Structure 1
C-alpha cells in the first residue's frame, strides 16, 4: 500500500503556496483567478454545470433538487415563531440549527443549476430570501456567542458552518451586491465557534481536529478564504488538511493523533474506533471533493497522493464491501441506523467515480472497473441519483457506458485481510465473506453515542458477520439484525449470564453527567469518551496472521477499561460498570470453513456464560428450515438441547444455508423463534417501526463451575452430506487450551496455531515461542510460513519446524532462517511491526 509520512506530505507544501493532492498552485501571478476557479469548481460540484445539466442522466437528480427547494420554500412561508422552517423550532435544539442551514443551502443549490428549466434558476428574489435567512439566523440564533454552543460541539464547529459556507459560495455574487458585509460577519462568527482550535483556527493537537472532522473543518476554511480573498487562510487550511494523507505510524505519532489510515488498510476515528464504513467514507468523499474543488488551479501532476487515496480504496474499503454492502464491523454506532449497508457504499462509489477522473493508465482502468463491479454485484442499485453532485451522476454514466473498461473487483476471489491496527479481520471466498470484530487495550469494544447503538456491549468481543453470496443483506444484517437478535446472543460472542441496562436507562439521558468529579464528566469530555462512548478493552492479545488467502485471528476476552477503573476506585460510585466473561479464542479461516476454538470459558463472579455459534435472521415468509444429526449419528430435527454432531440452517426464500459442525462433545441449544421489536430499541431516533423476524440461534451454555472449552466450524453454503463428512474428515483440532490453540486441515496442507502465553508451545511438528500467530501451508515441496505478533509489543517471535532441515527459498526482511537440531528455526523481528504478517518460503 503506498504510504506517505506526515513529513513527506508537508514537504510537498511550498512555504507560500497551496496544496491540492500534494501540488502547489501556480506561482500565484493571478491569485484572484485561482480563487475564482476554486469557487467555480465548488458551485459545479453542488449544482452542476450548464453542460452537465443538459445530460439526460442528470435529469432525475436535478428534478429532485428543484422539488426539494420548492418544499423548503413552502416551509419558510409556513414558519411560526422561533422557526425559519415550519416544524424546525430553534433556540434549544442545536441539530435544528444545522438543519435550518442545510435547507437554506438546498434552496441556494436549486437557484444555481444552470441549464435547467425552472422558475428557481437565477431567481434573485429567491436568492435574496436565502440571504435574508442567513442574516436572520445569525441575528437571532448564531451571532450571540454567549447564547450559542449548546448540545453537540459538531453542530457548531462543523455542522452549520459547512452549510453556511457553501451557501455563501453559491450566492457569492448576490451576497456581494446585497449584503457585502455578510461573509466577513459569518467567517468571524464561525471562527469564534471553533472552540476546540486555537484563536479561531485549526489545532492539529486537538482530539476534535482529526480524520474526517479535520477534513470537514479545513474544507470550510479554504472556501471561506476564497470568498474573503485571504490566501494565507487558504494555504493554512489546505496544509492542515493534507496531513490526513499521511499513513499513521503508531510508534511515532504526530500531535498524538491515532485517527486516520494505517499501513494495513485500517481506518480509525475517535482515536480507538474502527470506522472505515462511516467516518472513513466521509473522509474519502471530502478528499475527492477537495481534489475537484482545486482542480485547474494547480500545475500538472499529483500522481503520488492520488495513488495513496486509490490505495485506501483498494486495501481499506474494497475488502469491507461484499456485493455492494458495507460490513458491520467498521461502522461504530452507525450500525443502528436505518440507512446503512448499501447506502454506505453509494457514498464510497461516488468518491471512487470522482477519483477515477484523476487516476491514469492501468490505475484508471482498475478503479473504473471497480465502479462497474459495485454497480453490477449489488442486488440494490447504486442509484447515482442519490449522489451529492450532478457532475458525479454524469461521470458515473460515462464509466458504466465505457465498453473498454471491464467490470472487475479490486479483491481477489479468495482473500484474507488482517486489519490488525483496528482489531478486525475479513475473510472472503466466492460464496461468502466473513467479518470478525475484535478489541483490545488499543481498540474500543464498541461505540455508543447520542442515543445511537444503545445495546452494543459485545460487538467487539469476537462478534462475527457471515455474509452469503446472492442474499439481500438488508434481510440478514443491518439495523434489523441488531433489533431482532439479543445483544447477548450476537453471532460468535461468549457473554456472561446477566442483563445490562442502556445509558439512557441508567442515567436518564444520553450520557453520564458529573462535572464536579475530578474526571469532569460532560457530554463531550475525554472521560465520557473513555468510559461511556467507546471504552477500550484491557487485553493485549488481539491479532492474527494472513498467509495468502488463509488466516488466523486470536482474542483474549477482558473487562473493559471502565470496569477495571471502577474496581480501582477511579470512577464515581454511581457510575455503573459490568464485568465480562473470560475466554481465549481463535478463528482459523480456510476455504470451506471457519474453525473456531475457545478455552478457559467462564462467566466469572459465580455466573455461567453462553457462546453463540451463530444467530441469523430471516423474514417469516422465507420458511426457515433447521436440520441436524446427533453425535451418535442419529438424525435430529427441531430446536432444543442435544449432543449434536452438526446443525444446518437453511433459508429457502433466500436460497441460503449455513452449517455448524461440532468438533468436540457439547450439548448444543438450537432455537428458532419469531421476534417483533421496534427499531428504537437500538437507536432512540429511529422511526418507531416494528420489525418481525424469525431468529435462529445455535449456542452452548457453560455452567458456573469452572473453565470450559469449545471447538466448532462454520461451513457457509453447506449441504447435509458435506456436514456429515466432517466426521473423521480433514479437520483436526491439535490443541485447545488457554496457552495454545491449533488446527490441521490435511487437504489444504495447513497447520495453524495461536499461542497466548509466554514460553514454548507445541502443536504437531511446530514449536512456537508465544504469544504468536502462525500459519503453515505445504504445497508439494514448498512450505509457506506466515507469522505475526498478536500483542503488537514483542521484539521477536521464534518458531521451530521439526523434521528434516529445509532450504530457504525466500523470506521477508526481518525473517532469519537457520538450522537447529531436529529441525529449522525461524526468528522474526516483530519490533514495531504493529501486527504485520511476516512470511517465508522453505523447500521441503
Structure 2
C-alpha cells in the first residue's frame, strides 16, 4: 500500500517544515556519495570497514539471525510485525507538532508538568513507531520486506521529527529520559537499519541531534540519572552514535563510562555483593532497571567484542557473576518476581512472565562471552525455565523481540542441553530487604521495607496503590495453581489492603500516598535475617505507611512450609488492623473448595466466614494453613472489579476487569495493643497432609512470640530460628545484642550456626551462647573473635555493624 502522500511531495507542500529541512541541507543523496561525517575522527579504510562491521553486528543483534521466516513461531510474528508497520504507515500524517494525529508531541503552553511529560513521551513513541517500520522493512517475511514506500515513509518521518522537535537547536522538555535515552536509541537503531538509504547530510544532522541531548558531560560523573541501568542506556546511545557517525572517540568515551557500573556498591544505585540491585536509591529493581542493564550490557559486550573498542575492564566479570547471584534467584519457572520490579508491576500489557522473557534472551546472549562452564550452566537454567512455564510460555509471547525469540527457540531445540530443575535454595538480600526461598515444587519471595528500602515506588503516574508491598508481602507459587497468580490482571483487581502475608492498618491511603518519587521509608532498621542456603530465618520491625501501626513479624523457612509469627501489633489509627494469611487470585470463575478443620464451606454462592475458631484450613489446589493454638479466622470468596487506570494513570485503560479472590485473614480489632498471630503456610499441601500437620503437636515448638523475641524449633529438622529484637534468651540460646540467629543440627553430627545483625547496631560485638554440648569448632567466620566449647557453646563476635546485615556462619561438631 502506498501512503496518500510522497516524501518529496510532503516536503514541497509544508512551508515551515520544508524550510527547516532545507536549512539542514538534507537530501536523498546516498551516504557513500557524500563527504566525511561531521565530528568523525579521521579514519583509514580499515577503520571505515570496522564501523561497517559494527553496523552489521548491531543489525544482527537487533534483528536476530539463524531462523527461518517461513517456520513458526517466526512466520506469524513476522506477519504481525508487517501488519503493525503497515498500520503505522497508513495512519502517519505529518503536521506541525505531530507525526501521527494521536501523538501530538508539541504544545506551546503545556498547563502542567504532567502534560509536558506526556508530550515528550509521545515524541519518543513516534520514534519507536518509525523503528518498528524500519524493522518490518529490514526483516524477511513481513510482507513489507524491502518495500520502497515503507522506507520512504520512515525517512520522511525521521526528517520531520528532526526538523520539528529533535535537533541541536531545540530545547529538552518533559521527561529527560525521552530526550537522552529513548529517542537517541531509537534514532540510532533506525540509522543502522537504514544506513545505506541515508544521505551523509542526514547522518550528520542526526548524530548532531544526539550530541545535543546526549553530550559526553552526561557520562563525566557517576551520579544522578547517570547510574546503573540509566548509565548503560546512555552509553548505548553514544556508542551507536559513534558507530553511525564513524567516530571512534565517542565509542571509547562511552565504553570507558561503563566501568563504574561493574564494581559492587555499598550505598545507592547498582549491584551489591549480596546480589541486591537497587535503583532510584531505595527501590529493589532487578526485574526492571536491572533487566535493562543486563540486556544493555549483553548487547554492548557482544557488539564490541573483537573490535578496537572491546570491553576489557576486568570488572566486567563481576557483572557476569550477577547472572546467578542476583538475577536467577528472582526467576521462578519462567516468571520474574514482582517484588523486584518497582512501579512496573502495574503496566498494562506486561506481567511477571513477560518481564522474564527478555531476561532469558539476555542471559543466553551473555553466555556467549562467559566461560564455557558458565555458559553451560546458564543455558541449562534458562531451558528449565522455558520448559516449566506452562502459564505464559516465552515462545508464545507476542511482544518478545524476534532476536530473543530466535535465541530461546534455538536453545529449546538444542538436544545437547539438559534442562536444570528449580534449585533448592534460600537467599537473603540484606541490601534490598528481599528474601527468596526455592524448592523443587514451590517458590516464594518476601518483600520488606526499612529505613533503607522504600515501602513502594510511585512515579510517572504508575503504581498508585502499591502502598503495602513492603509490609511483609509474601508471594508464593505452588505446583498446581500458582504461575498465573500475579499475572492474570492481579494489580487492577486485588484488594491493595490485603496483600498476602502483610499486616496492615486499614486506614485509607491516598493514591500515590507520599507523593511521586518520594520512596517513603520507615524508621525501622531491624529488617532482614539469616539463613544457611537451604533454610532461613527472617524478621521485620514493621511500621505502617502513613500509620501509627507497629508490628514485629517473623518468617521461618523450611522444606515444605513457612512458619509465620507476629507480635507487638499496636496501632492508634482509629481503624482495624489485619494480618492477611493469604489472598489468592482465582481467575474469572475459580471456585476451590475451602475446608475449615475438615468441614467444607458452601461454595455455590461463595463463602464468607467471620471470626470462626479454626485450627487448620485448606484451599483446594492452593495450600494448607495451620494455626498453632487456633485463631479467629475470617475467610471470603468474592468477585472484585477494577481497571488498569485505577493503578496506573500513565498507561492504564478504564475497561472494567473482574476476577475472583479467596482471602484468609485475622482481624486484630480497632487500635490493637500487643496483638499477635501464628500460622504455618504449606504451599501445595493436600487436605490430608494439612490435617496431619495440625494434629502433630510435637512438630513445632514456638519458643517465643513477643516484641522482644520470636523463636521456633522444629525437632525433625534440627532447626531453631530466633529473631532477637532485644538482647535476651529464647529456648537454649542467649544473645547479647538484637540479632537474627539460626541453628541447623545435621545427621552427620555437625551443626551450622548462622548469625546476622539486620539493624547494623552491634558495634560492640555479640556474645552468643547455646546451651548444647559442643565438641569443637570446625569452621568460623572471620568476625568470630573467640569460641568456647564443652557443656555449652559461647561465640564472641567483633563489630558486626559494618557488615550491613550479612550472614556470619559457624560450623561445629557436636558430642
Deviation at 1:812, TM superposition (A): 2.9
**Residues 173-192 of structure 1 mapped to structure 2, 5 A cutoff:** 173-175=196-198, 178=199, 180-192=200-212
Aligned-partner Cα distance in 2 for 1:126–1:499: 53
Equivalent residue, structure 2, for 1:679: 644
Q: Which residue of 1 aligns with 2:115?
A: none
Query: Within 2, Cα distance between the matches of 1:650 and 1:559?
Result: 29
| Inter-partner Cα distance in structure 2 for 1:376 and 1:660 | 30
Q: Could you say which residue in structure 2 is the equivalent of 1:160?
A: 183
How do 1:547-562 and structure 2 match up within 5 A?
A: 547-558=532-543
2:90 aligned with 1:74 = yes
Q: Is structure 2 residue 77 aligned with structure 1 residue 111?
A: no
Aligned pairs for 1:278-677 (under 5 A) are 278-297=288-307, 307-338=317-348, 339-379=350-390, 380-383=392-395, 390-409=402-421, 411-412=422-423, 414-471=424-481, 473-474=483-484, 476-478=485-487, 480-503=489-512, 528-529=516-517, 531=518, 534-558=519-543, 578-629=546-597, 639-651=608-620, 656-677=621-642
**Relative contact order, higher structure (CA 8 A, sep 6+):** 1
Secondary structure of 2:100's aligned partner: coil
**Greater mean deviation of Cα atoms: 488-497 or 674-683:** 674-683
Residue 90 of structure 1 corresponds to: 105
Secondary structure of residue in 2 paired with 1:289: helix
Identify which of 698, 704, 716 aligns with 2:664. Answer: 698
Cα distance in 2 for residues equivalent to 1:499 and 1:207: 34
- The unaligned stretches of length 5 or more in structure 1 are 1-26, 251-257, 513-527, 561-577
The secondary structure found in structure 2 opposite 1:436 is strand
The answer to whether the 8 A contact 1:60-1:385 is kept is no
Q: For 1:775, what is the secondary structure of its paired residue? A: strand
Please say if residues 537 and 741 of structure 2, whose CA atoms lie closer than 8 Å, have aligned partners that are also in contact. yes
What's the counterpart of residue 827 of structure 1?
A: 796
Given that residues 34 and 297 in structure 1 are in contact (C-alpha distance below 8 angstroms), is that contact kept between their aligned partners in structure 2?
yes
TM-score of the aligned structures, taking structure 2 as reference length: 0.86
Q: Paired residues, what number?
A: 747
CA distances 1:271-308 after superposition (whole Å, capped 9, x unpaired): 11011111111111111111222133159996966654
Q: Say whether residues 1:224 and 2:227 are aligned partners.
A: no
> Which among 32, 50, 67 is matched to residue 48 of structure 2?
32
> SS of 1:232's equivalent?
helix
1:148-175: CA deviation from partner (whole Å, max 9, x where unpaired): 4332221121111111121122222322
Would the alpha carbon gap of residues 483 and 779 (structure 1) be closer, same or farther in structure 2, given more than 3 Å must change? same
Bigger CA drift: 543-552 or 89-98?
89-98
CA deviation after TM superposition for structure 1 residue 53, in Å: 6.0
Match of 2:253 in 1: 236
Distance 1:245-1:636 versus aligned 2 partners, 3 A rule: same
Match of 1:575 in 2: none
User: 1:132 pairs with 121, 144, 156, which one?
Assistant: 156
State the secondary structure of the residue aligned to 1:536.
coil
1:774 is aligned to 2:784? no
Secondary structure of the 2:802 match is: coil
Q: Is the 8 A contact 1:306 1:359 kept in 2?
A: no
Are the equivalent residues in 2 in contact too, given 1:602–1:702 (CA < 8 A)?
no
RMSD: 2.8
1:555 and 1:721 map into 2 onto residues whose CA distance is 32
Change beyond 3 A, Cα 1:301–1:384: farther
Given the superposition, is the C-alpha separation of residues 122 and 623 from structure 1 closer, same or farther in structure 2, using an over 3 Å criterion?
closer
Bigger Cα displacement from structure 2, 374-383 vs 312-321: 312-321
Q: CA deviation at 1:128?
A: 4.3
Distance 1:798 1:88, change over 3 A: same
The answer to whether the Cα contact below 8 Å between 2:263 and 2:315 also exists between their aligned partners in 1 is no
Residue by residue over 1:116-157, the C-alpha shift from the partner in whole angstroms, topping out at 9 and shown as x without a partner, is 3677444566434423322211222233756x4332221121
Q: Distance in 2 between matches of 1:388 and 1:705?
A: 49
Q: Pick from 162, 170, 174: which aligns with 1:151?
A: 174
Change (3 A) 1:299 1:225: closer
- Tell me what 2:40 maps to: none
Larger deviation, residues 204-213 vs 452-461: 204-213
Could you tell me which residue of structure 2 aligns to residue 753 of structure 1? 722
Distance 1:478 1:384, change over 3 A: closer
**Which of 225, 243, 251 is residue 208 of structure 1 equivalent to?**
225
Distance 1:294 1:580, change over 3 A: farther
C-alpha distance in 1 between matches for 2:100 and 2:309: 44
> Once the 2 structures are TM-superposed, how far is the Cα of residue 320 of structure 1 from its aligned partner?
1.1
1:542, distance to aligned residue in structure 2 (A): 0.7
Change (3 A) 1:238 1:287: same
Is 1:172–2:181 an aligned residue pair?
Answer: no
Moved more, 397-406 or 292-301: 292-301
Residues 789, 797 of structure 1: 8 Å contact kept? no
Quickly say closer, same or farther: Cα 1:55–1:315, change in 2 above 3 A.
farther
Give the 3 Å change call, closer, same or farther, for CA 479–248 of structure 1 in structure 2. Answer: farther
Q: Residue by residue, what CA displacement relative to the aligned partner does 1:493-542 show, whole Å, maximum 9, x if unpaired?
A: 11113211214xx8xxxx96xxxxxxxxxxxxxxx53x3xx222221111
Conservation of the 8 A alpha-carbon contact between 1:761 and 1:767: yes
2:213 aligned with 1:193, yes or no?
yes
Cα distance in 2 for partners of 1:392, 1:705 equals: 52
CA 1:663 to 1:88, structure 2 compared with 1: closer, same or farther past 3 Å? same
Match of 1:709 in 2: 676
**Alpha-carbon spacing, 1:348–1:706, altered in 2? closer, same or farther (3 Å):** same
**Per-residue deviation, 1:713:** 1.4
Residue matched to 1:568: none
Q: Within 2, Cα distance between the matches of 1:31 and 1:785?
A: 60
Paired residues of 2:167 and 2:208 also in contact (CA < 8 A): no
Match of 1:42 in 2: 58
Query: Does structure 1 retain, via aligned residues, the 8 Å contact 2:504–2:544?
Result: no
- Residue 831 to residue 497, structure 1, CA distance change in 2 (3 Å): closer
* Equivalence for 2:759: 791
Q: CA deviation at 1:730?
A: 0.7
